[in-house]
Amino acid sequence: MRRSPLALIPVAAALLLAACGSSSASTPSASGSGSESASATCSPATLETIQKGVLTVATGDPAYPPWVEDNKPESGKGYEAAVAYAVAKQLGYTDAQVTWVRTGFDEAIKPGPKNFDFNIQQYSITDARKKAVDFSSSYYDVTQAVVSYEGSPIANATSVADLKSAKLGAAAGTTSLKAIETAIQPTTQAQVFNDNAAAVTALKNKQIDGLVVDLPTAFYLAGAEIDNGKIVGQLPNSASSVEPLGLLLAKNSPITQCVTGAVDALRADGTLAKLQDQYLAQAGAPVLK
């Protein structure tokens, strides 16, 4: 399951437009806003938010690209910052009616009262987490990718078969590790690390040939963390390699259905796809056959 990129340094629900209304699509604004606001059923005047007429959104501290640029979610730049403002607009909030708070990744998953209306911080939607919190439908379906370095034994791999004999690694308990075991099935057992930071160190020291992480993290590692880093490619989409991320809300939140309806509308009108193209460009990450 995804953790915040903070760990890297020193480390579909049914469409609920009947409940929340829908609207015509429009071009995203500079702040990342998408479609026109939802119906009055899901509006600032009726939604039971922490502060009346205000949408309080949480993210990590710090928050990293490509999710949030310059650690400033209020700028609306970065995929998750832009999605948050798009959801807000879909619900009828102006940018000025959105306020941000910061939370730890694990802290927000714990049962109990929240100081936010929803939290956007790369939370995988899992049955275990649903026991403690609510989720919207997925705002991004993450694929898994293999990161290596120029000159490695798998640097020029073009297929999953080319990875069979590789020494691969991933963090314990992650979708990435499951993808190695089910999608690649290497002849050498995957090395399991306590976290991504330890796995990155092993790759830098060439103790493994490649590291499997989600695609946006792969871009970050290859470009900023690993000398001569390279994304070998994306693993083919499958139940084991695709990871849905959802907006996290308090358990039984009165706004869960409206937030889900907003996410669904943004997916349907193409806003999410536009923002993914803008912030999560997949150039340089071919799909391994």
Tokens representing 28 are 């995203």
Residues forming beta bridges with residue 142, ordered by sequence position:
243
Give me the pLDDT at residue 91, please: 98
pLDDT in tens, 231-281: 999 998 776 667 899 999 999 999 999 999 999 999 999 999 999 999 987
pLDDT confidence of residue 228:
96
Q: Contact, 131 vs 107, CB < 8 A?
A: no
**What DSSP character marks residue 274?**
H
Find, among 220, 128, 219, 239, the residue nearest to 178 by Cα: 239
Alpha helices in the chain (DSSP H): 17-20, 79-90, 105-109, 127-130, 175-179, 196-204, 215-220, 256-268, 271-279
The pLDDT of residue 40: 56
CA distance 241 to 182: 9
pLDDT averaged over consecutive 10-residue blocks of the chain (289 residues)? 44 33 33 41 96 97 90 97 98 98 94 97 93 97 95 97 98 90 95 94 97 92 93 83 90 98 98 93 83
Instruction: Please give the DSSP secondary-structure letter assigned to residue 225.
Output: I
Could you give all domains of the chain from N- to C-terminal order, each with its CATH number?
A: 5-141+244-279 (3.40.190.10), 142-234 (3.40.190.10)
Return the pLDDT at 241.
Answer: 65
Q: Which of 107, 91, 136, 126 is nearest to 246 (CA)?
A: 136
Quote the CA–CA distance of 217 and 64 in Å, as a whole number. 10
Is 0.85 surpassed by the pTM of this model? no
pLDDT at 231: 96
pLDDT at 252: 97
In this predicted structure, what is the pLDDT of residue 27?
29
Q: How far apart are CA 70 and CA 119, in angstroms?
A: 18
List of residues 6+ apart from 201 with CB closer than 8 A: none
Other C-beta atoms closer than 10 Å to the C-beta of 128 total: 9
* Token pair of 222 as six digits: 């290859």
Could you give the CA distance from residue 119 to residue 83 in angstroms, rounded to a whole number?
11
Torsion of CA 27, 64, 66, 70, to 10 degrees: 60
Task: Give residue 66's pLDDT.
Answer: 87
